A = this chain, B = another copy of it.
Amino acid sequence: MCGGHGICGKCIVKIYSSEKLTPTTTEKKLLSKSDLASGYRLACLVKTLKPTRLKIEIPPESEETHQRLIVSGFMPKISIHPTIKKVYLEIKPPTLNDPKSDLNRLTSTLEKNGQFRITDINYNSLKELATVLRNDEWKTTVSIFKNREIIRIESGDTSKSCYGFSVDIGTTKLAGYLINLLNGKTVSTVSNLNPQSKFGEDIIARITFTMKDINSMSEINRCIIEGINSLIKEACNSAGISSNEILDVSVAGNTAMHHIFLGISPRYLSLAPYPPVISRGLEVKAKDLGLNTNIGSRVYLLPVVAGFVGGDAVADVIATGIHSANDLSMLIDIGTNAEIILGTKKRLVSCSCASGPAFEGSHIRHGMRASQGAIERIWIDPRSLDVSFKVIGDTKPVGICGSAVVEGIAEMLRTGIIDSRGRMDQNNTKLIRKKNDSLEFVIASRSDSGINDDIVITQSDVREIQLAKAAVYTGISILMKHMKIKPKEIKKFYLAGAFGTHIDPSSAIDLGMFPEIPLERIQFVGNTAGSGARMTLISNPTRKLVERIIKKIDYIELGANANFQKEFISSMDLPNTNKNLFPTIMKTINRNLFLLEQDKNT
């Protein structure tokens, strides 16, 4: 998960070898002495002295099981006005008295009903034009981009086959949607992990990789293009069409993904003041990018707001409609970065927080993605402090997914197992114990777990989640202060993205990650980045709308905000240094402490 840097300790394997493989310092730090003695190592760090065949055992917690990727998302009903139209024509053949050019003949037939005004023809279509027109006695189907450019010409009537493809390029995952452009319906949905992960798990690691040497930029660009090409292939196979039928593509992604996809170096996104190279919406030829769609097809990229508020956030806005709402709304899309947008139809402000990959289970001792064997819910009895949990799939647990780590820590806070600084105290319960000089809380004991060990939440895990949630709340708080509003004024609170779909909102509020607002105002909208991308594919007017919306989204650079340090330090506390902001969790803690005290006394 760390991209082979020997940081995350997630690729534990057991090696059977005659060669003595000396553990590295990192391995000594991340693995226990007994594990090392049993032959456990990190796959990314092991170097053999000579080319050899090793027997390797992959423990269950290191396996990549099929992950639950959230690809569906809320999408409003919109009318179908794609940029591409297909028209079937029967053209009068030339005669000696009417020998005008093939193209004039075609366009004058096409322009008869007044809908089209052809100013351009794609070079490839021009080369084929004469033959295609004559192949089926001047019966032909023309594909037209924005009522003005001929991008494809076919013999006979093929007007019933017109497809487009939308992609949401996430840092971690890709979601693709094959759309029938005649009715706007999604014909097949495909998803995969972003193959760029091998270059690093977060945006900064990827950007750093692009600067490694002269070839790395094109290497990482080719990687994402190939990744999307396999999604296209999969989607087309499942729908039984050729990828040549795809005449339009739309893409939403954060700014770094957007730049890398275009083959633009994202180098300056990592240097203050983090300007993107291009922010406006862009239409590029698919063949310039190397996408395996029709040679005449275009690729539309949603505009980006700033270096760290990208086209995915813009897609979230149009899918949730907060740009046109009277009610004050807040939208949070949590991935490896969290984008936050707050406002009404009059004005929107946005920011981006480096929440990091902890919410996805990275940098967490037993963290894992939300796949088979992951603990997805955790409850702690306030009186007995006994732990219950729920596992994905009918199996013993092998780790804890990100949202359950949040819930587990919220339960630890509610039941007094950790204090407002996130500290564990061994005196609280015997489930807290010291191992290798640091404290950990047992969620599933070795006998209940599917790995050869207890599954725990460590003191350092708590610290990771505190950092991540503080980053998010700092952004929320600065936006609220910028707009001069209080939490109770937020009428709609949209949670987008995979993490936002799994998280227990009351846990997030109790930890001080989200502001305290009535739970019924919170709406899970799923992958709205994908929905927004689809909307711009189905509806050309939406592309125009997006350009207008983008102009009214202000961007706040958190690092440049005078209150950033102060807000961040306050937000590190559980729930917050300013306890008045979170009355509910304070009441819960006090009640539970009272109950515990009472039980002790009886």
Given A123-B288, A284-B123, A130 and B99 contact (CB-CB distance below 8 Å): no
Please state if A275 and B102 are interface contacts (CB–CB under 8 Å).
yes
Which of A27-35, A230-238, A266-274, A388-396 is the contact stretch?
Answer: A266-274
- Across the interface, A277 reaches (CB within 8 A) one of B103, B123, B285, namely B103
Complex: A123 Cα to B102 Cα, angstroms: 31
Tell me whether A505 is interfacial, beta carbon within 8 Å: no
Report which residue of A263, A276, A285 has the largest number of chain B beta carbons within 10 angstroms of its beta carbon. A276
A452 on the B face (CB < 8 A): no
Contact yes or no, B100 A264, CB < 8 A: no
Contact across chains for B99 and A307 when beta carbons are under 8 A apart: yes
Instruction: Point out the residue from B104, B263, B275, B279 that lies within 8 Å of A127, measured CB to CB.
Output: B263
The answer to whether A101 touches B273, judged by C-beta atoms less than 8 angstroms apart, is: no
Q: Which of A94, A97, A285, A288 has the most CB of B within 10 A?
A: A94
Task: Knowing A96-B273, A99-B307, say if A126 contacts B262 (CB, 8 Å).
Answer: yes
For A279, the closest partner residue in chain B by CB is B101
A475 CA to B103 CA in the complex, in Å? 27
Distance (Å) between the CB of A174 and the closest chain B CB?
22
Return A102 CB to nearest CB of chain B, in Å. 5
Interface-lining segment among A188-196, A339-347, A527-535, A555-563: A555-563
Return chain B residues, CB-CB under 8 Å to A129: 264, 277-278
The majority secondary structure among interface residues of chain A is mixed
Interface residues on A, range: 35 or more
- Give A563 Cβ to nearest chain B Cβ, in Å: 15
Q: Does A421 contact B (CB under 8 A)?
A: no
- A98 contact set on B, CB distance < 8 A: 273
Bound together, the chains give a CA A279 to CA B123 distance in angstroms of: 14
Q: Are A103 and B560 in contact (CB under 8 A)?
A: no
- Using a CB-CB cutoff of 8 Å, which residues 296-310 of chain A contact chain B? 304, 306-307
Q: Which chain B residues border A280 with CB–CB below 8 Å?
A: 101, 103-104
Q: Residues of B contacting A105 with CB < 8 Å?
A: 275
Interface residues of A in 328-386 (CB under 8 A from B): none
Q: Are A264 and B557 in contact (CB under 8 A)?
A: no
Q: Is A265 an interface residue (CB 8 A)?
A: yes
Q: How far is the CA of A284 from the CA of B126 in the complex (A)?
A: 11
Q: Is the CB of B97 within 8 A of A560?
A: yes
Query: Of A275, A276, A560, which is in contact with the most chain B CB atoms at under 10 Å from its CB?
Result: A275
**Complex contact A130–B288 (CB within 8 A):** no
Residue of B whose beta carbon sits closest to that of A119 = B280
For A264, the closest partner residue in chain B by CB is: B127
Query: Is A95 among interface residues, defined by CB-CB distance under 8 A?
Result: yes
Q: Is A131 an interface residue (CB 8 A)?
A: yes
* Interchain nearest-CB distance for A202 vs B (Å): 21
State in angstroms the CA–CA spacing of A101 and B98 once bound together: 52
Q: CB distance B272 to A126 under 8 Å?
A: no
Which residues of A in the span 240-271 have a Cβ within 8 Å of any Cβ on B? 262-265, 267-268
Which 8 A-B pairs rank lowest in CB-CB distance, beginning with the nearest?
Answer: A101-B279, A96-B560, A99-B273, A103-B278, A94-B275, A96-B273, A101-B276, A130-B277
- 23 A-B Cβ contacts within 8 A? A95-B273, A96-B560, A99-B273, A99-B274, A99-B555, A101-B276, A102-B275, A103-B277, A103-B278, A104-B280, A105-B275, A123-B284, A123-B285, A126-B262, A126-B277, A127-B263, A127-B265, A129-B264, A129-B278, A130-B265, A130-B267, A130-B277, A134-B268
Chain A interface residues (CB < 8 Å from chain B): 94-105, 121, 123, 126-127, 129-131, 134, 262-265, 267-268, 272-280, 282, 284-285, 288, 304, 306-307, 555, 557, 559-560
